[in-house]
Amino acid sequence: MTQQRQAPTTESVRFEVKDGVAWLGFNRPQSRNAMTWEMYNALEYYCDTLADDTDIHALVLHGVGGDAFVAGTDITQFAHFAEAEDAIGYERRIDRVVGKLETFPKPTLALIDGACVGGGAALALVCDFRYATDTLKFGVPIAKTLGNTLSITNVSRLVDMVGIPRTKEVLMMAKLVTAEEALGAGLVNQLFDGADIYAEVATIAAEFAKYAPLTLQASKALINRVQAQRRLPADASDDWVATCYLSQDFSAAVNKFVNKTPFEWRGQ
């Protein structure tokens, strides 16, 4: 007998179903919806359990509070990192969760109001469609903040979405892409006024109930196969993941966020 997984009880993730559309809200507005492990676990749970739910025809991800979609992973969770396995294990875990969202067999929509950075950018990138307000700030500013690195898989996703020149701006210059820039680059599908975006996205998500489910699933699966063929193995970035996460710079940057201590980049 297959053991049933228990639904998450965390208040940090809101889940509801409206007219066949599942709405998953990241609910830590006091921390700009920065992701904790329990939030990643909840996202993975819903990706697994909703995949075969015939009453659900689309999934919408959104942030609660109006200030952010997701402002990365909660930095306090990096404080214990001491070995290469900590860093590599973290990136593998994120790759697994983000991968579940990427391969979710139904249309996924990211409703982005405010900051969409770090881990939030990774989640938004793998959604099938992205809709934003003019407050959008998209990026991975780790060159300024933490001094770590993305996994090779997430770098590939960013390159696929915005190309090499913009990827270098985002990663090497810590550029935050504005709403208009994101629209021009094809990073978001459409911009909406903040007062209207939830209703507009609800209308778009509802439309998928009218389309052939197998065609939607096939289209998404085949696009994912094309992308997978262009990607390097997950361990292709392990050397740099370990180097960055175990550096003195990363430790000092985390300490700055946790304990408000000053530091300067040393390159070691």
Helix, strand, coil shares of the chain, percent, nearest 5, are 50, 15, 35
CATH at 115: 3.90.226.10
Helix (H) or strand (E) holding 259, with range, is helix 248-259
Q: pTM score, two decimals? A: 0.94
Q: What is the pLDDT of residues 203-216, one digit of tens each?
A: 999 999 999 999 99
Q: What is the pLDDT of residues 41-68, one digit of tens each?
A: 999 999 999 999 999 999 999 999 989 9
Residue 138 near residue 187 (C-beta atoms within 8 A): yes
Token output for 172: 């090497």
Q: What is the pLDDT of residues 206-247, one digit of tens each?
A: 999 999 999 999 999 999 999 999 999 999 999 999 999 999
Return the residue matching tokens 């998928």: 208
| pLDDT given at position 2 | 42
> Which residue range(s) make up the domain with 217?
13-196+207-259
Would you say the C-alpha torsion 131, 104, 25, 32 has a positive or negative sign?
A: negative
Q: Is 157 left (phi over 0), alpha (psi -120 to 50) or beta?
A: alpha
In a domain, 167, yes or no: yes
In a domain, 230, yes or no: yes
Name the domain count of the chain: 1
Tell me 35's DSSP state: B
Is residue 114 pLDDT above 70, yes or no?
Answer: yes
Is the pLDDT higher at 162 or at 80?
162
| pLDDT given at position 104 | 98
In a domain, 119, yes or no: yes
